[in-house]
Homo-oligomer: A and B are copies of this chain.
């Protein structure tokens, strides 16, 4: 504090950082009335200077060196928005060590260094708020951490990655190919030049790890999240699933908790068109949290974009400022983290779900019989078989091949994996097969 004013340092002045500056500029009196204290954005730190406006009569100081912000003794709250692992981790830890409070949107650093960061926070009696790390502007972290605090969290289902959802929406609604939809996402500003983090599900896995750690009061690592990306997705299957099965593809993050065991996974999933997630379009996110007393609660809103994400960051800052002004910051922890709680992942191979399998067969009698025989030998029960007339032009490797689609009843991942290996060795089949999960999400 300086002259009774809570001092805030912003590190990272990119898209979201720009939104934060804009929010301070527009709503400062409102923020101060909510926080019950005067506030000042004292610093903006980034590699490039950019334009920094006057806010509430003064212009924030600029520095290219984030250490100046963390080392300024008058700074109370550090906003970390540079993303990635380093120097973000060092910024968060240094700020805590310097007795400051932290607001961050950084799911990568949080999920990777959960134990280190929240141990340091406990040790230093500091606070790390991170509403913007999951779901953009949607207050799902507050909701889960505080509003549902009385519940044992049993499961989570979420559409939490804007890029993959944008791509799937364009593919499904406009019959766009994956490549074109990805390009459109980049043009719309939802996908990075190197989109692999989103497409391969890393971003969603990090967010799920954050939600899972918060839900279990333990630490669920990103490496504990079973992850399958979107890059194998074909328009042909989305179209078939919609027209013939009444299903829509969504990139879904899922957590199931049973005692100290959990299963966390992100992968493309075929869900009923009647499920609320089917209407979660473009950059929107939705998260359903099931607690033992509250049952299902859904949060929905913009999961990306400068202004919604800034809303989450600055709402955190308001609550931190309240505590700083009351002289009580760090007198109660924000996150319940139990170092001694060992969360163990359930076996992926043992997990059962319904499966959508597409094989590309040479149109010979007998191939379908061989496939179903293999499935049966692995104890996989078939719900429906569809043999389509024409070849799948755009993706066939084996010419003149014909797609065979099999939807199974519940079967374990292990059994399906083994069966697919066996089927791959059958004659008359293209090597490339498509495997999606089918889930009612109920």
Contacts and interface: CB of A to CB of B under 8 A. Distances in A.
Contact of A138 (B137, B297, B313, B326): B297
B336 A332 contact: no
Interface string A272-311: 0000100100000000000111111111111000011011
A299 B302 contact: no
A333 B322 CA distance: 8
Interface string A318-351: 1100110111100111001010000000000000
A231 to B, nearest CB: 30
Contacts of A307: 293-295
A31 interface: yes
Nearest to A317: B150
Contact of A137 (B26, B297, B299, B301): B297
B142 A147 contact: yes
B147 A297 contact: no
Contacts of A30: 150, 152
A36 interface: yes
Contacts of A315: 146-151
A332 B338 contact: no
A23 B150 CA distance: 8
Contact of A332 (B31, B36, B313, B333): B36
A300 B301 contact: no
Nearest to A327: B331
A146 B142 contact: yes
B279 A291 contact: no
Interface residues of A, number: 60
A18 to B, nearest CB: 12
A314 interface: yes
Nearest to A135: B297
A328 B331 contact: yes
A27 interface: yes
A162 to B, nearest CB: 14
A156 to B, nearest CB: 14
Contact of A328 (B217, B312, B326): B326
Interface centre among A137, A139, A292 (most CB of B within 10 A): A139
Given A147-B131, A279-B276, A295 B33 contact: no
A59 interface: no
Given A311-B150, A333-B36, A298 B298 contact: yes
A293 B336 CA distance: 29
A337 to B, nearest CB: 10
Contact of A147 (B31, B139, B295, B317): B139
Nearest to A217: B33
A131 B322 CA distance: 20
A295 B318 CA distance: 18
A308 B294 contact: yes
Given A147-B142, A151-B311, A292-B27, A328 B332 contact: yes
Contacts of A311: 148, 150-151, 291, 293-294
A52 to B, nearest CB: 19
A338 B293 CA distance: 35
A34 interface: yes
A99 interface: no
Nearest to A279: B276
**Which 9 A/B pairs are nearest by Cβ-Cβ distance?**
A139-B147, A150-B314, A137-B294, A297-B301, A294-B311, A293-B311, A298-B300, A326-B332, A142-B147
5 contacts: A143-B299, A147-B312, A293-B307, A326-B331, A327-B331
Given A141-B147, A148-B311, A276-B276, 15 more contacts: A30-B152, A137-B291, A142-B143, A142-B146, A142-B147, A149-B315, A150-B315, A150-B317, A151-B311, A294-B312, A295-B307, A299-B299, A326-B331, A327-B331, A331-B331
